[in-house]
Amino acid sequence: MDYNSNRKHLVLPEYGRNVQKMVDFALTVEDRDERNKVAKSIIAVMGNMYPHLRDVSDFRHKLWDHLALMSDFKLDIDSPFETPTKEKLSEKPQKVPYKNERIKYRHYGKTIESLIAKAIEIEEQKEKDALILMIANHMKKSFINWNKDSVPDDKIFQDIVELSNGQLTIPEELKLREARDKDFSQKNKPRKKHSGGHRNDHRKHNKNR
């Protein structure tokens, strides 16, 4: 029996063994023009496997890259795109820089600190107070979601003053939303499981009739 485990390893199994055989055949074509024609035919077959993407420029680029990969980068053709190299493919990706900025209160998050900084810059008092109210309500919601407990408004106000280094003043008679409001209630209540007792009783009743 001819098992797949005994056959040549497929570099990209998603294209199947027949496409790989076509690539192997292209490597044996000596005439460059003819080899280019064979390569274009292979690309057409590969594209037909994904008809909704075959005309997308980025996807066509990917097809030619896959062709190079399946030929072990040995297929010398006139590709419409820059042919990748084995060395380029094995390069390690560049390290993604992450900001390691310190967040004073993690349960509020970095966005709150940015909003507080923005509120400090606002000169128009009415607009500043409106933003402070929005920030305070969001902080209260975040606090409750994190701690699953109620929090007095004074605690939120103290944190705003602290995070603003005393540059924000809480408007008098500022009142935050109640913790029992739906927007603040994020606790996952367990769903009641429907008892099958009534259904079973009904079936038993029908069975005994």
DSSP 183: T
pLDDT score recorded for residue 146: 76
Are residue 79 and residue 105 in the same domain, yes or no? no
In angstroms, rounded to a whole number, what is the distance separating the alpha carbons of residues 25 and 36?
Answer: 12
- Choosing from 47, 66, 87, the residue where a domain stops is 87
Q: Which range (94-98, 107-111, 189-193) has the least confidence?
A: 189-193
Instruction: Give the model's pLDDT for residue 202.
Output: 47
**Predicted model pTM:** 0.46
- What's the chain's average pLDDT? 81
Q: Is 70 a domain residue?
A: yes
- Range of weakest confidence among 53-57, 93-97, 193-197: 193-197
| 116 and 164 both lie in a single domain | yes
Q: Is the pLDDT of residue 152 over 60?
A: yes
Pick left, alpha or beta for residue 148 (phi over 0 → left; psi -120 to 50 → alpha; otherwise beta): left
Residue of 74 and 98 predicted with greater confidence = 74
* pLDDT attached to residue 54: 66
Average pLDDT over residues 180-184: 58
- Counting the structural domains of the chain, the total is 2
By residue range, what is the domain housing residue 104?
A: 96-186
